[in-house]
Structure 1
Amino acid sequence: MRDQEPAPVDPGRRLSTKEAAELLGVKPETVYAYVSRGQLSSRRGSGGRGSTFDAREVEALARRNRRESTVTPGAGNELSVRTRLTLIESDRYYFRGVDAVDLAMRHSYEEVAEWLWTGRLRPGTTFTAPAGSVAVARRAVDALPEHAAPADLLRVATIAAATADPLRFDLSEDAVLGTARTLIPTLVAALPPAGRDRRDDRRHDSRHHYSRTDSRTDGRGQDRGEGRGEGRGDRRDQTPLARRLWTRLSPREADEASLRVLDTALALLVDHDLAASTLAVRVAASARAHAYAAVSAGLGVIEGPLHGAASGLAHRMLQDVLDQGDAGPVIADELRAGRRIPGLGHRLYPGEDPRARALFSLLEGVPRAEPALLAARDIVDTAARHAPLHANVDLALAVLTASCGMSASAGETIFAVARTAGWIAHALEEYGERPLRMRPSGLYAGPKPPQPLPE
């Protein structure tokens, strides 16, 4: 039986705290929490006793709260957030209702990102970075220690780019989309070229002048109507993002087949429902953090070995198999150490990870990938004696990175750059919800108060 809605109140009345709480269906202290969050206004009652509330304002908040909840307990008491972006079911996944694999196989990373953000395809779209943002981000990245991880570089670049954007607090859709289209290429441009010591960049930068903006630029440092390039002294760079990213990942020349694998990997990894990093982004956006801060929250989560760093573990295992020529001893070592075998299985796909299947099919067209592909198949077949697990996208990324002269951390960089587009899509969704809704209640399990003061 459905709960009946409260009878409407006289819109001209002012309600007491008790009446407001009853209308909202909450405790009186929650009413004051609404006030502190700016969701209700209050006025001191006559005689200075208690607070009163505008009846129309309370009713409007009650109607919002009675709408179908978009944050609810899911199966197994997991958090469930309603989204229009990604659906995962029956070993397939969809972006705005369109098969994500089909989309990624037919369109570039930038086009897939635009589809996720706006629900519209923009054929041939490219992302360009403001020169001022690139200069600030590069300086910040170049100052980091040589051993800094990819997530460190990208997080610092994101924060630096934010400082170069005085309009970052504008959370309107157009402003956030403008941020998205410039932040992603800025992150790529801020990464050091593969095989080059960042200390060389520092020596170069000490002699090189970076111009921030000129009279033709808008508040974001973007040339009006044409955008600025990301190279040192380049007017603009409209090459596909995958090609620009390649130079940051591999010292080898890129062939078209390998570039297509990288671009498709970026497109496949744009979003994957409410992963841990995406939830962090939505929490930040719920508190109305700007887009750079929301992306930074996501970057702070992906370093975990169970998330963005998983492909690095798969890369190292794959390299061991290539070195030894047999997956058996390598898998045995993993099991003996009590570790799960990286690159196998996925909690959302009982069968095969569709992202891995798509990448493996493309990698078969890359001649130098054949040894790594054979090693990956050996891993899957050997592990199947222990547990019938399919390859996941981390193993496919490992084949790409190992066969193209990339480091073990390259997969994490690919993941982070790709997922930035999805994080911004989720931030945009969250900006359209009531603020601070991502505020679960803690279940206190400590000593029962009052306890004596500690000595």
Structure 2
Amino acid sequence: MSTVRYVCASEAAAMLGISVTTLYAYVSRGMLRSAPDANSKRRLYDEDEVRRLARRKKDGKRAGKVAQKVLDWGVPVLESSITLIADGKLLYRGRDAMELARTATLEEVAALLWECSARRVVAAPAAPLAAAQWSAWLKLWSDSAPLDRALVLLPAAAAQMPRVWALGRDAQLDNACALIRLLAGAMILAAPSNDPLHRQLASAWGVRNRAQINLLRAALVACADHELNASTFTVRCITSTGAHLFGAVAGGLAALSGPRHGGETARVAALFDEAARAADLDRYLATRLAHDEQGATAPVISGFGHPLYPDGDPRARLLLDLLDECASSRSPLADVQRLARTVRDTTGAEPTVDYALAAIERVLGLPAGAAFTLFATGRATGWIAHAMEQTADGRLIRPRARYIGAYQVNREVV
């Protein structure tokens, strides 16, 4: 039986070529585990786990130089012209996403991402389904959570669409437009409509204030795409097998259901509830941080600290600013802002888009799960763009695995 060999923080940091402070950040992000030292207050690290992480880091540095031709059976790097995250900014096809979020509708951003005219998106048929059939489906699944409902109804709708497998440009765009409207309808229990999606959500949630409706619009645009996150990579993998658009997006929704991706907004909502009940917010956060430091695999505080934005998530910054401008005087905005300040003062971490979406839900008094609906509805437009790009590429995504288990040499297991 092999014995685990542990190293101290300074040794682990040296093996990884990072500072001890960065090592602690790796632990907080779930990239590395630590264990208590029985003879001191230090934390120790499994040497084999540290070495595996060092190899992954080395591969990651090489990955950006890997040619596209090895994608089928090589390191999973995808060339894409859709979204760029660099220098603290998020760009959709070269345009600042936050500037778009200030004025554009999700339909206009969809046109940008799908490389068609905005009129083409707005004027497309809402969905080639009988209204009575869709209504019956909604009634049947009305007691389900929005995500569960969407996961059932999108495949059901696809089975009724005559051109769901068509690969022509017009058919692709018709399917894309129908898909985002059916998704929104499934999430909010409404008939598919050509009305702007932010207005559909506002109507379903009883939001009538113009500035608050504008905030919903901005949130959808800010969530439209975020490069190759887990759900988007899932969509591209499914598309590469030749699956149709509805199947690929259903796969993205399934990936989004995990607590460490789309489920993060629900975790932030729970954080709000816990913080509101705490008699002493500083003590509550200190206790939570002390507990999580003992090996949690999730971020230390849900909704804070995005690895791609060391200086703060620009999506959260914009949405929280807009929320500040339109919140009513009786809303819990002050509590939301105080929590963000306290976490920042305690950990140095800035809010992420998940925090902002959950704040919008709480401050505007939206139904539980509205933050997730905003995220999923917005993100579907980016998934569709990636699916279209992957279809045009035409190759199967099949990366290789690095085997790290035991193997036999001369019949001896080593």
1:170 aligned residue (166, 169, 173) = 166
Distance (whole Å) between structure 2 residues aligned to residue 288 and residue 360 of structure 1: 40
Asked if 1:265 is matched to 2:264, the reply is no
SS of structure 1 residue aligned to 2:256: coil
Distance (whole Å) between structure 1 residues aligned to residue 286 and residue 136 of structure 2: 45
For 2:239, the equivalent position in structure 1 comes to: 285
After the TM superposition, which residues 279-428 of structure 1 pair with which residues of structure 2 at under 5 Å, given as runs? 279-324=233-278, 327-338=281-292, 340-368=300-328, 371-428=331-388
Distance 1:376 1:405, change over 3 A: closer
Distance (whole Å) between structure 1 residues aligned to residue 150 and residue 118 of structure 2: 27
Asked if 1:242 is matched to 2:242, the reply is no
Shift, 1:164, TM fit: 1.2
Shift, 1:247, TM fit: 3.8
Shift, 1:79, TM fit: 2.9
Shift, 1:434, TM fit: 3.0
Asked if 1:441 is matched to 2:395, the reply is no
Higher relative contact order structure (alpha carbons within 8 Å, sequence separation ≥ 6): 2
For 2:177, the equivalent position in structure 1 comes to: 181
Distance 1:364 1:383, change over 3 A: closer
Distance (whole Å) between structure 1 residues aligned to residue 122 and residue 371 of structure 2: 24
Given that 2:234 and 2:252 are in contact with CA atoms closer than 8 Å, whether structure 1 keeps it comes out as yes
Shift, 1:273, TM fit: 0.4
Output one character per residue of 1:196-249: Cα deviation in whole Å (capped at 9) or x when no partner. Answer: xxxxxxxxxxxxxxxxxxxxxxxxxxxxxxxxxx74xxxx8443211212344x
Given that 1:317 and 1:330 are in contact with CA atoms closer than 8 Å, whether structure 2 keeps it comes out as no
Q: TM-score, normalised by structure 2?
A: 0.73
Distance 1:343 1:71, change over 3 A: farther
Given that 1:288 and 1:435 are in contact with CA atoms closer than 8 Å, whether structure 2 keeps it comes out as no
Q: Which 4+ residue blocks in structure 1 deviate beyond 6 angstroms?
A: none
Shift, 1:334, TM fit: 3.1
Shift, 1:336, TM fit: 4.6
Distance 1:82 1:296, change over 3 A: same
Shift, 1:141, TM fit: 4.6
For 1:158, the equivalent position in structure 2 comes to: 154
Distance (whole Å) between structure 2 residues aligned to residue 402 and residue 343 of structure 1: 14
Identity percentage of aligned residues? 32
After the TM superposition, which residues 85-104 of structure 1 pair with which residues of structure 2 at under 5 Å, given as runs? 85-104=82-101
After the TM superposition, which residues 35-50 of structure 1 pair with which residues of structure 2 at under 5 Å, given as runs? none
Distance 1:312 1:127, change over 3 A: farther
Shift, 1:135, TM fit: 4.8
Output one character per residue of 1:78-108: Cα deviation in whole Å (capped at 9) or x when no partner. Answer: 7321100000011101111011111121211
Distance 1:136 1:332, change over 3 A: farther
SS of structure 2 residue aligned to 1:94: strand
Tell me, which stretches of 5 or more residues in structure 1 are unaligned? 1-66, 194-229
For 1:113, the equivalent position in structure 2 comes to: 110
Counterpart AA for 1:381 = R
Distance 1:416 1:136, change over 3 A: farther
Distance (whole Å) between structure 1 residues aligned to residue 198 and residue 231 of structure 2: 22
Distance (whole Å) between structure 2 residues aligned to residue 186 and residue 308 of structure 1: 19
Distance (whole Å) between structure 2 residues aligned to residue 369 and residue 179 of structure 1: 43
Higher helix share: 2
Shift, 1:445, TM fit: 4.9
When structure 1 is superposed on structure 2, of 159-168 and 288-297 the one drifting more is: 159-168
Given that 1:136 and 1:161 are in contact with CA atoms closer than 8 Å, whether structure 2 keeps it comes out as no
Counterpart AA for 1:440 = P
Distance (whole Å) between structure 1 residues aligned to residue 400 and residue 329 of structure 2: 50
Distance 1:305 1:135, change over 3 A: farther
Shift, 1:329, TM fit: 4.6
Given that 1:242 and 1:259 are in contact with CA atoms closer than 8 Å, whether structure 2 keeps it comes out as yes
Distance 1:311 1:337, change over 3 A: same
SS of structure 1 residue aligned to 2:328: helix
Distance 1:165 1:181, change over 3 A: same
Distance (whole Å) between structure 2 residues aligned to residue 123 and residue 357 of structure 1: 32
Tell me, which stretches of 5 or more residues in structure 2 are unaligned? 1-65
Q: Bigger radius of gyration, 1 or 2?
A: 1
For 2:19, the equivalent position in structure 1 comes to: none
Shift, 1:161, TM fit: 1.3
For 2:44, the equivalent position in structure 1 comes to: none
Counterpart AA for 1:283 = C
Q: TM-score, normalised by structure 1?
A: 0.67
Given that 2:71 and 2:399 are in contact with CA atoms closer than 8 Å, whether structure 1 keeps it comes out as no
Shift, 1:184, TM fit: 1.0
Distance 1:102 1:373, change over 3 A: same
